[in-house]
Every structure is written in structure tokens, then in C-alpha cells.
Amino acid sequence: MPAETSTQELIARRNRLLGPAYRLFYEQPVHVVRGEGVWLHDAAGNRYLDAYNNVACVGHCHPHVIEAIARQAAVLNTHTRYLHETILDYAERLLATFPAEIGQAMFTCTGSEANDLALRVARTCTGGTGVVVTRTAYHGVTGALAELSPSLGLPEPTAPHVRLVPAPQSAGDETGEIFASGVRAAFADMARSGIRPAALLVDTIFSSDGVFADPPGFLRPAVEATRAAGALFIADEVQPGFGRCGEGMWGFARHDVIPDMVTMGKPMGNGHPIAAMAARPELLKEFGARSRYFNTFGGNPVSAAAGMAVLDVIERESLIENARRTGTDLRTRLTALRAKHELIAEVRGAGLFIGVELRRGGAPAVAETAKLVNAMRRRGVLISAAGPGANVLKIRPPLTFGSEHTDLLVETLDQALQEI
Ligand code: PMP
């Protein structure tokens, strides 16, 4: 059967079986059958450079992670109402990557569940319900988080207890005061409506807002404003966490702030569904006194083994250092492309989390960005777009990305920019 026919058939079958809420990437969706390192292979035998998959952080199908999962799956997999060391060994190792104040971890299967749990803790401990998020935020799939995820395109305001603040500015707010004043105003508005504040929830690299990383430290005044309002600061590390930003393990650390709670997921098991919420023990003391927590699959021995293996690889292969070095090089080379292509307005990011904003005549180059993402896909390089106008190329390759991959990505982008 020709590859094209089978792709069309798969799309029809998917629509029929999964319904219309699912979306595929690219005008010509990619039918992947195999992954290896930074590469994905399709059914027709083509190879794609994966510069978008921040789940496979240590590379697709890393042998150390596979082996750890297989070994534990062959011995025991059960849940956390029995005693087992693996979850404790992993919790110890994971918590050692945080400031001492973040002393306990609770395990889930998805980033959404981790954020949902953080919300419950915040509401229990503050007695409030109000949450502040950014204007194009995404925090997850549950009912509570869909209200806090304006990027899903739901009507605004998303819920009475939610306030949206503008994303950080890429220039002109070096101290973070402008961002903080938005947060302050949001909490003040909440108070005027008789809503008690519970939390500021932000993705510390602002991925879906269009990637805002600099200057490090700009988040600090917003966190201070949050605490002054009696609310807690939840750092959503689902996207930037596990070394992607090239400086330490966590995006919040670049901002010199210590969150009240941290949520993580995506890259944590390199594709195995493991996620977590880490917190200050005094918050969990209060929450635990009032609630019980049990998550059937969260923190099972196979998941914990996967998480442990990912940490092994990040350490052994010096992937945080690689994210810093390769990411800096990639950003420098993308910035150099600006001289040739006036569509490139700005290159932002930290480590291997990069946003390239495209503008035409000062306005967001919305159509051009979509064309470019598809032109890249046709040339075998997978990226996507983010931001309120979807005019920011989002580039997040596995942390094993090397200089030869940077060359390929930059050359392909150069060609694709000429093509459109
Ligand atoms: N927070 C952020 C910042 C995310 O990007 C995502 C997933 N895209 C989530 C939370 C939710 O994670 P999950 O899909 O694992 O539920």
C-alpha cells in the first residue's frame, strides 16, 4: 500500500474512532513507527530530526531507561499502599535536586494531575480559591486546569476565580516590575470581587505564551506580590524542568525564587507516564491532616525505575551542560539568521528551550509561521509554534542534541525561510 494512501486511511480511522477533539501536527501528519535518539522514523522509511519533543529528553528509546523499565516490570509492579523502596530511593534523589525548603514529593501520572493536586493543596492551605495565570497559559486537561488554560481557546474570563495577566515582556521589563504589577492588579481585582487568593501558577519558561526566559530573576517581584496577597507560588516545571534550561534542573532556579510547590512531568520518565508535585512539608502537613491521597498508578515501582534511569542519564551524559552549550550555540546561529531573513524578529530562550518570534511589518507573521513549520516538516525537521498569535517557532529537542543536529536544523530553517 502506498505510504500516502495509508496515511489518509489512518487519519480517517482516527477521526472515526477518537472523535474530533484530537489534533494532529502538520498539514501532512507524520506516521511515526520508530524513535532513536534525536531521530523519528516514519512508515515510509523517512527520518526526521526531532527538535520538538521535550518528553524524550534523553533521546528516544534510550537503552538505559528501557532496560530499567523492563527489569522492574519483570519483577514487580504495584501501587503505593504497599511498602517498596524504589519510590523512596527516587523521591530522595529527586528532592536532592531542589532547595532544602522543598522537602516532600507526591507522585502522579501526568502533569495535569500534578497541577490539580497543587491547586487542591493551595486551596486547602490558603482557604482561598483565586488563581492567577498568564494570558496564553496551558496547565492541563482536568476541569479545574482547563479553566486555568486560556490557550485552549475557551471563552474569557475562563471562570470567576481566575485572573489572567499579560505574559512577561521580552524587553523593557528587566526588573520584572511590569509583570509583577499585572500580578498585583490581578490579586487586587480578585479581592474587590470577594475572592480569596490561592495561587500564582506559572510555567517558568512561559512556553505557550511564546517562551520568555530573560533576564533571569524577572519572576522574583511577581512571587513577592503573590505572597503579599496571601497566595502561594506554584512553579509549573512540566516544560522547562529536568535540565532543559541548561542551568541546574529547574526553570525557577534561574529566577532565584523558591516556590511553595513545584509540578513536573513530561520528560520525567522519558515517555513513561510519571509526574509529581513537590512541596514545602508544612503545606503537606496541613493538606494531609485534612485529606488522604492515593493515586493507583502514580509512583509505582516501574515508574520510579524509569524516573531514576532518566536522572542517571542526565548525570552520566552531562546533559544539562550539553543543553547549555548546544542551546547557546543554536540561539547564536538562529540570531545570525536574522541578518538574512527579516521575518525573524527575536530569538529567545534558555538552554534547549528556544522561541523564535516571526513578524512581518511589525505584526505577528501568523500565516508565515504555519508555512514555515510545514516547510520544515517536509524537509525532515520537526518543530512547532506557540504564543498568542502562534507566531513563535518553538524548538525543544532532546537534550542529547549535538552540533551536527544544530547544523542541520539551522541550514534547514535557512532553506525553509527562503522557500516561503
Ligand atoms: N503544564 C504545562 C506547562 C504543560 O505544557 C503541560 C502539557 N503540555 C501540562 C502542564 C500538562 O501535562 P500532561 O499533558 O502530562 O497532563
Kindly report whether the global pTM for this prediction surpasses the value 0.95.
Answer: yes
Give the relative orientation of helices 403-419 and 319-337 as an angle to the nearest 10 degrees. Answer: 30
Q: What is the pLDDT of residue 89?
A: 98
Grid coordinates standing for 349?
Answer: 530562550
Whether residue 107 has its Cβ less than 6 Å from ligand 1: no
Q: What is the pLDDT of residue 168?
A: 97
pLDDT beyond 70 at 69 = yes
What mean pLDDT do residues 22-47 have? 96
Grid coordinates standing for 164?
Answer: 489572567
To test the pocket of ligand 1, the residue of 25, 55, 109, 112 to mutate (highest count of ligand atoms within 8 Å of its CB) is 112
Query: Cell 507526591 identifies what position?
Result: 106
Distances in Å between the Cα of 151 and the Cα atoms of 112, 117, 165, 278 are 15, 21, 13, 25
Counting from 1 in the atom list of ligand 1, the atom nearest the Cα of 140 is 11
Compute the distance between CA of residue 176 and CA of residue 180 in angstroms, rounded to an integer.
6
Give the relative orientation of helices 63-75 and 301-316 as an angle to the nearest 10 degrees. Answer: 160
Q: What is the pLDDT of residue 405?
A: 98
pLDDT beyond 70 at 157 = no
Bond preceding residue 157 cis, omega within 30 of 0: yes
Compute the distance between CA of residue 316 and CA of residue 295 in angstroms, rounded to an integer.
31
Q: What is the pLDDT of residue 154?
A: 77
Q: What is the pLDDT of residues 337-384, one digit of tens each?
A: 999 999 999 999 999 999 999 999 999 999 999 999 999 999 999 999
Residue type, 311: L
Quick check: helix, strand or coil at residue 308?
helix
- Ligand 1 center to residue 272 CA distance, Å? 14
- Cα dihedral across residues 259, 102, 161, 188: positive or negative: negative
3-class SS shares of the chain: helix, strand, coil, % to 5: 40, 20, 40
What mean pLDDT do residues 284-313 have? 97
Nearest CA to ligand 1 atom 16: 112
Counting from 1 in the atom list of ligand 1, the atom nearest the Cα of 112 is 16
To test the pocket of ligand 1, the residue of 266, 272, 274, 384 to mutate (highest count of ligand atoms within 8 Å of its CB) is 266
Nearest CA to ligand 1 atom 2: 139
Domain residues of the chain, as ranges? 2-58+318-419, 63-316
What are φ and ψ of residue 32, in 5° steps?
-85, 145
Contact between residue 300 and residue 80 where contact means Cβ atoms under 8 Å apart: yes
pLDDT beyond 90 at 143 = yes
pLDDT beyond 80 at 156 = no
pLDDT beyond 90 at 74 = yes
The closest of 223, 245, 261, 265 to 138, measured between CA atoms, is: 265
Whether residue 272 has its Cβ less than 6 Å from ligand 1: no
Q: What is the pLDDT of residues 183-216, one digit of tens each?
A: 999 999 999 999 999 999 999 999 999 999 999 9
Q: What is the pLDDT of residue 4?
A: 59
- Ligand 1 center to residue 156 CA distance, Å? 20
Query: What is the torsion angle, in degrees rounded to the nearest 10, for the CA atoms of residue 388, residue 324, residue 106 and residue 298?
Result: 80
Query: Cell 514487580 identifies what position?
Result: 76
Architecture of the structural domain at 2-58+318-419: Alpha-Beta Complex (3.90)
The strand pairing partners of 394, in sequence order, are 355, 384
Whether residue 54 has its Cβ less than 6 Å from ligand 1: no
Quick check: helix, strand or coil at residue 42?
strand
Q: What is the pLDDT of residues 394-407, one digit of tens each?
A: 999 999 999 999 99
The closest of 414, 420, 327, 347 to 54, measured between CA atoms, is: 327
Grid coordinates standing for 234?
Answer: 506554584
User: How many of the other CB atoms lie within 10 Å of CB of 327?
Assistant: 25
Please, which residues have CB within 8 angstroms of residue 325's CB and are 6 or more apart in sequence? 246
Query: Cell 547564536 identifies what position?
Result: 332
Compute the distance between CA of residue 274 and CA of residue 302 in angstroms, rounded to an integer.
9
Compute the distance between CA of residue 273 and CA of residue 55 in angstroms, rounded to an integer.
10
Q: What is the pLDDT of residues 17-34, one digit of tens each?
A: 999 999 999 999 999 999
Grid coordinates standing for 407?
Answer: 547544523
Q: What is the pLDDT of residue 158?
A: 72
Percent of the chain beyond pLDDT 90? 96
Counting from 1 in the atom list of ligand 1, the atom nearest the Cα of 275 is 15
Compute the distance between CA of residue 253 and CA of residue 217 in angstroms, rounded to an integer.
9
Whether residue 108 has its Cβ less than 6 Å from ligand 1: no
- Ligand 1 center to residue 145 CA distance, Å? 10
Query: Cell 475557551 identifies what position?
Result: 154
To test the pocket of ligand 1, the residue of 148, 151, 208, 238 to mutate (highest count of ligand atoms within 8 Å of its CB) is 238
Q: What is the pLDDT of residue 266?
A: 98
Per mean pLDDT, which range of 152-166, 209-223, 372-386 is the poorest?
152-166
pLDDT beyond 90 at 153 = no
Helix (H) or strand (E) holding 131: strand 130-134
What does the mean pLDDT of the chain come to? 96
Kindly report the CATH class assigned to 63-316.
Answer: alpha beta
Please, which residues have CB within 8 angstroms of residue 192's CB and are 6 or more apart in sequence? none
What are φ and ψ of residue 386, in 5° steps?
-145, -175
Compute the distance between CA of residue 51 and CA of residue 372 in angstroms, rounded to an integer.
14
To test the pocket of ligand 1, the residue of 239, 261, 303 to mutate (highest count of ligand atoms within 8 Å of its CB) is 239
Compute the half-sphere exposure of residue 130: CA atoms within 13 Å on the CB side of its CA: 21
Whether residue 53 has its Cβ less than 6 Å from ligand 1: no
Q: What is the pLDDT of residues 85-125, one digit of tens each?
A: 999 999 999 999 999 999 999 999 999 999 999 999 999 99
What are φ and ψ of residue 134, in 5° steps?
-80, 165
What are φ and ψ of residue 321, in 5° steps?
-65, -40
